[in-house]
Amino acid sequence: MVSAWASENEIVLGQVKTDNKSNEITAIPSLLNLLSVKDSVVSIDAMGCQKNIAKLIRKKKADYILALKGNQSALKEQVAGAFNHIVPHSESKSIDKGHGRIEERKCTVITDFGLIEEADKWKDLNSIIKIASKRTEVLTGKESQEIRYYISSCLFDAERFNQYIRNHWGIENKLHWILDVNFSEDKSRIRKGYADQNFSVIRRIALNMIRLEDSIKKSKKAKMKISAIDNHYRETVLKI
């Protein structure tokens, strides 16, 4: 299932069913065509780093931030090399502590594409971003490092790009994790016909409603339990 996630409002805007990973490439344009994304920034994982998807996003008057990995090997190789030779347009560093670890991030942005032959093949490409991160486990001292690259039609400074990219990964904790823990989605054995797809839609609608209901200050799990036993509160959540 490919989902469109609004990171600022923390709600699901839409979704399209896929049978396997390879079908995500065709599902993403279908999902984009269902949505009004004008004046927004659309960030997509590496599977969506495709020229036609970048072009579609710009056609819909939105901007893109696309993760760059091995599926665009020529571009990735040129981008990685460019950061060794081109003076950065902007740089930013941040340190975050929480969940038993410390994460240091350095975001570097370049806007000079002189060494990147593939650049002109991407619609309105304006920035290339490098995120170098180091995570340290507080208890064990174990360190892990990672470098990720992104391409974008936006022309932001490094601090702003860093925030957008961090927000992109919020879908893992704020959607996928909650669907698994609170709704037991991964344990579901519903398979017959369109039942699996239908229940997937219902879970996301329910989560949106729970998240948008703010008359009480409780966790999402607590709100779900109250909704199950309190008719009045359930009607409040459902806006009946």
Cα distance between residue 240 and residue 233, in whole Å = 10
Give residue for tokens 């040129």.
78
- Tell me, what's the pLDDT at 240? 77
Mean pLDDT (the chain, rounded): 92
Torsion of CA 184, 185, 187, 192, to 10 degrees: 130
Q: Per residue in 103-131, pLDDT tens?
A: 999 999 999 999 999 899 999 999 999 99
Two tokens, residue 219: 């966790």
Query: How many residues does this entry show for the chain?
Result: 240
Q: Which amino acid is at 190?
A: I
- Tell me, what's the pLDDT at 173? 76
- Host H or E run for residue 165: helix 158-168
Domain spans, the chain: 36-168, 188-238
- Tell me, what's the pLDDT at 185? 82
Residues lower than pLDDT 70 in the chain: 20-22
Cα distance between residue 109 and residue 90, in whole Å = 5
Two tokens, residue 77: 């190789």
Distances in whole angstroms, Cα of residue 165 to Cα of each of 67, 80, 227: 9, 18, 34
- Tell me, what's the pLDDT at 28? 94
What superfamily does domain 36-168 belong to in CATH? CAC2371-like domains (2.20.130.10)
For 99, half-sphere exposure in the C-beta direction (CA atoms, 13 angstrom radius) is 4
For the whole model, what pTM was predicted? 0.84
Q: Per residue in 129-160, pLDDT tens?
A: 999 999 999 999 999 999 999 999 999 999 99
